[in-house]
Structure 1
Amino acid sequence: MFKRTLLRQAQASRALLSVRSTSTAPLAVRQTSQLQPQLLRPFARYPTARCYSTENKTENGEQKENGAESSEATEDPCVKELEEKKKEVVELKDKYVRSVADFLNLQERTKRDMENARNFAIQKFAVDLLESIDNFDRALLAVPKDKLGATKTEENKDLLDLVDGLKMTQNILLNTLQKHGLQRFDPDEPTEDGKPQKFDPKIHEATFMTKVEGKENGEIMYTQSKGFTLNGRVLRAAKVGVVKND
């Protein structure tokens, strides 16, 4: 009997507790539901401002600078070697271009020297022959002009044959030397317009100057010896007398 009463009391107490919990729960929910809109509405009307810290940025910038310094300090040796090789290539290219230019200049200079040696190989020999050629002129001038223009007779036949032989020998010698570049020029020969030649210090040598009426200053009035050129180079200047009226 006692056990039964205890069980009944326990069941009754449990029923009372369940009823109380069910009756109090809706009130709490209602109160919280009523309070939430009142608390949230003021904060929903105004936008909130966000604040950021600059400490991280400065730290990141310092880290980047430190990283760049460390990367510069620890450069890749392959990059350094590549830059050195590029410099060596530039220097070698410059040396190569200079050596090629020097070789071409040497080639042209050697070619020019060979041509000059070929053209002026007989220069000394030609200079030694000039006196012999002048002797032909002196021998021909020794014969008077009236005898040279006279008709050939038994009396002057030998003289005229000798003069012809001298002229023939002189012409053959001059033609032979002309084949090798030696040419003779006569200052007494007039120019293309028929006027007497003027003194030119490049090809003439003035031995004396004098006054001559009817002629201009600088004209050649007398030829002492004719001039010679070897392949365009003056081998011997013509010795002349020049007019100077002033």
Structure 2
Amino acid sequence: MSNEQQDVQVEEVSKAVEGEVETTQAEQAEVEQAKVQDEVQDEVQAKLSDLEAKLAASEAKVKEQQDSVIRAKAEVDNMRRRTAQDIEKAHKFALEKFAGELLPVADNLERALQAADKENEALVPMIEGVELTLKSFEASLSKFGIEVVSPEQGEPLNPELHQAMSMLPNPDVAPNAIIDCLQKGYTLNGRLLRPAMVIVSAAGGVDTQA
């Protein structure tokens, strides 16, 4: 083999080696680049996860604060409603004690009319005056929410408004029906101020005194 041929062969081998070296370097560069991309992607994913966790925590805190605001508003509304109810009750029933003191006046006027001799013409003007006074007195009470409870004979006993003082047999009315009203009752704005005292019929003809 001549020197020229040897030189050509050496040159070809050198080129082949250089090509292999360049290929290896390119592959290594690709590997390094892929590794860097993976590291960057992992770092980005970690930051995204951290931001999502912080966002979830912030949303939970906002929701908790919203719930606290809603609860506080509900408590304020309830307090305002209770206060309004208390004020309304105070206005309605402020006269309860005073009204209770006035009831004996009506009772005495009733007793005076019951005891008066209506056959005595000399007493007629006085009786009429007492009747007018009682009507005027009851009208004045009514203006302030005080109403008379005066059950009729045969009316069923209502424990919320009537107090049975005694039970008597009476075949003309049903059991536990009112036979007579001994004393009128009164209510104040729908609340019982004093029950009407009544006599009721006994079941089975039993005579019972309360």
Q: What TM-score, normalized to structure 2? A: 0.71
1:160 matched to 2:121: no
Q: How does 1:8-157 map to 2 (within 5 A)?
A: 77-147=50-120, 152=121, 156=122
Q: 1:229 aligns with which of 167, 184, 187?
A: 187
* Pairwise CA distance, 1:71: 7.7
* Residue in 2 that maps onto 1:218: 176
AA aligned to 1:184 is V
Distance 2:182 2:77 in 1: 47
If asked which structure has higher relative contact order (CA below 8 Å, sep 6+), I would say: 2
- 1:21-69 Cα offsets, whole Å, 9 max, x none, are xxxxxxxxxxxxxxxxxxxxxxxxxxxxxxxxxxxxxxxxxxx9x9999
* Pairwise CA distance, 1:81: 2.8
* Pairwise CA distance, 1:163: 1.3
Q: Alignment identity in percent?
A: 31
AA aligned to 2:167 is M
* Pairwise CA distance, 1:138: 0.7
Q: Do 2:164 and 2:198's aligned partners in 1 also have CA atoms closer than 8 Å? A: yes
AA aligned to 1:212 is N
* Pairwise CA distance, 1:72: 7.7
* Residue in 1 that maps onto 2:20: none
1:208 matched to 2:208: no
Q: What TM-score, normalized to structure 1? A: 0.61
Root-mean-square deviation (CA, aligned residues, Å) is 2.5
Q: Where do 5+ consecutive residues of structure 2 fail to align?
A: 1-37, 205-210
AA aligned to 1:227 is G
Q: 2:133 aligns with which of 169, 175, 191?
A: 169
Summarize the Cα distance change of 1:123–1:174 in structure 2 as closer, same or farther, 3 Å threshold: same
* Pairwise CA distance, 1:198: 1.1
